[in-house]
Amino acid sequence: MNLFDPITIGDCQLSNRIAMAPLTRNRAKATIPNEMMRIYYNQRSTAGLIISEATNISSQATGYVNTPGIYTNLHIEKWKRITDSVHHYGGKIYCQLWHVGRSSHSDFHNGKLPVAPSAIASKGQIKTPYGLKDKEVPRELEISEIKQVIDDYANAAENAIKAGFDGVEIHGANGYLIDQFICDGSNQRTDEYGGSIENRCKFALEVVKAVSDRISRKKVAIKLSPSGTFNSMNDSTVIETFSYLIKELNNFSLSYLHLAEFYNPPGKSYKAPAHYLQEGEVIKYFRKIYKGIIVGNSGFDFKKANEYISKSYCDIIAFGKLFISNPDLPRRFKENDELNDWDVSTFYTDTEKGYIDYPFNM
Ligand SMILES: Cc1cc2nc3c(=O)[nH]c(=O)nc-3n(C[C@H](O)[C@H](O)[C@H](O)COP(=O)(O)O)c2cc1C
């Protein structure tokens, strides 16, 4: 078994096991997908699977400038152009569904505070439409609002299918809303959504259920980062917490579970706390618990990816930064061709530079 073997996820036949990881690129002016984005995804359509950049499920879900949405008819119409274009070239594309929770700012919400499981701020600053600001203490969601957010996920999933996506990946990683509920550093609720591991995982599982009930569960996936500390995440029972959650996910026959071993923003190093699983341990550990297809991610190169596939530690590998700078990554891997370096300075800008101008040859 190697990276070039085909694989089926849900109803979707992937021509190889090389996935493009979800990558926020901030090119969607006023949340609307555009022609530049169509070209970008089209250039990368030889990936076995493209997972779209994180896409806001509602206006409330938003916390980064020029990130796309999937909650209006215009979003559906514009995303359709992108999915059609990827399909035209034989690719497959999932939409990553995103609610940032406390990783937002009142500047995005006409002065209203961002929402979260508990009124606990994450550390640091955030770039808003009006500049760099300190992160605020979010407002705790009421139970009726939690039900509404779950419904927003289901609506967004339905919209994604209308927009031609082959499926959806629920973003449960990297310290955004779902992760904020899971981990006790950000969830100190005393109701049914906080306290015990079961209660903290309830929101994630209810989102998975609502989305699976709305579209086929074969089209639903979730991304988790069980050792992630990005966005001030911490959990006192982390291995136990994620073991419970991942065991419960077995009940859903999802199309895959995406596991990011770590996430270090460009230029920052990563070290997991001592009671966390360390880099190199996360995927292997949860492989023993999860019964379905696992997409592995974080810091893979061709050699390590093939090792993971051939030893069956996981079934697909998602590449992030390598896909930014190598639109034709599968070909380069296959032909052992040289790889382009990525330019960090253009990751989050708003022009074609560093976005659709990396050289490639399909
Ligand atoms: C520019 C950039 C944007 C990212 N945006 C997202 C995102 O929207 N959703 C997500 O789940 N992860 C996001 N990530 C994390 C990547 O999906 C991936 O987990 C990370 O880059 C590690 O994989 P790599 O070592 O192959 O790059 C982003 C990473 C980068 C570098």
pLDDT in single tens digits along all 362 residues of the chain = 999 999 999 999 999 999 999 999 999 999 999 999 999 999 999 999 999 999 999 999 999 999 999 999 999 999 999 999 999 999 999 999 999 999 999 999 999 999 999 999 999 999 999 999 999 999 999 999 999 999 999 999 999 999 999 999 999 999 999 999 999 999 999 999 999 999 999 999 999 999 999 999 899 999 999 999 999 999 999 999 999 999 999 999 999 999 999 877 777 777 889 999 998 999 999 999 999 999 999 999 999 999 999 999 999 999 999 999 999 999 999 999 999 999 999 999 999 999 999 999 97
Instruction: Pinpoint the alpha helices (H) of the chain.
Output: 35-43, 73-88, 143-162, 177-182, 197-214, 238-249, 282-287, 302-310, 321-325, 329-334
CA of 320 to the centre of ligand 1 (A): 5
- Residue 235 · residue 241 · CB < 8 Å: yes
CA of 48 to the centre of ligand 1 (A): 17
Domain ranges of the chain: 7-320
Q: What token pair was written down for 289? A: 């618990």
Can you spell out the DSSP letters for 95-119?
Answer: EEEE--TTSS-GGGTTTPPPEESSS
Kindly state if the Cβ of 174 falls inside 6 Å of ligand 1: yes
Instruction: Pinpoint the alpha helices (H) of 89-222.
Output: 143-162, 177-182, 197-214
Kindly state if the Cβ of 19 falls inside 6 Å of ligand 1: no
> Which atom from ligand 1 is nearest to the alpha carbon of 21?
17
Give CA–CA dist 30/67, Å, rounded: 8
pLDDT (0 to 100) of residue 271: 80
Q: What token pair was written down for 71? A: 């909650």
User: Cβ–Cβ contacts within 10 Å for residue 131, how many?
Assistant: 9
Residues 6 or more apart whose Cβ sits within 8 Å of residue 103: 63, 114, 122, 126, 135, 175, 176, 231
pLDDT (0 to 100) of residue 184: 98
Kindly state if the Cβ of 259 falls inside 6 Å of ligand 1: no
Greatest Cα-to-Cα distance within the chain, rounded to the nearest angstrom: 56
**What is the DSSP pairing of strand 12-14 with strand 7-9?**
antiparallel
Q: How far is CA 339 from the centre of its chain?
A: 24
The enclosing H or E element of 248 equals helix 238-249
Give CA–CA dist 83/94, Å, rounded: 9
Percentage helix, strand, coil for the chain under 3-state DSSP, each rounded to 5: 35, 15, 50
Annotation says 130 is catalytic: no
Give CA–CA dist 261/281, Å, rounded: 8
* Architecture of the 7-320 domain: Alpha-Beta Barrel (3.20)
CA of 272 to the centre of ligand 1 (A): 17
> Which atom from ligand 1 is nearest to the alpha carbon of 260?
19
Kindly state if the Cβ of 87 falls inside 6 Å of ligand 1: no
Query: Hey, whose CA ends up nearest to atom 18 of ligand 1?
Result: 320
Query: Hey, whose CA ends up nearest to atom 10 of ligand 1?
Result: 22
Active-site residue (options: 176, 263, 355, 358): 176
CA of 277 to the centre of ligand 1 (A): 20
299-315 burial code (b ≥16 CB/10 A, e <16): bbebeebbebbeeeebb
Query: Kindly report the CA angle at 238 between 234 and 240, in degrees rounded to 5?
Result: 160
Q: What token pair was written down for 273? A: 């706390």
The helix/strand/coil state of 88 is helix
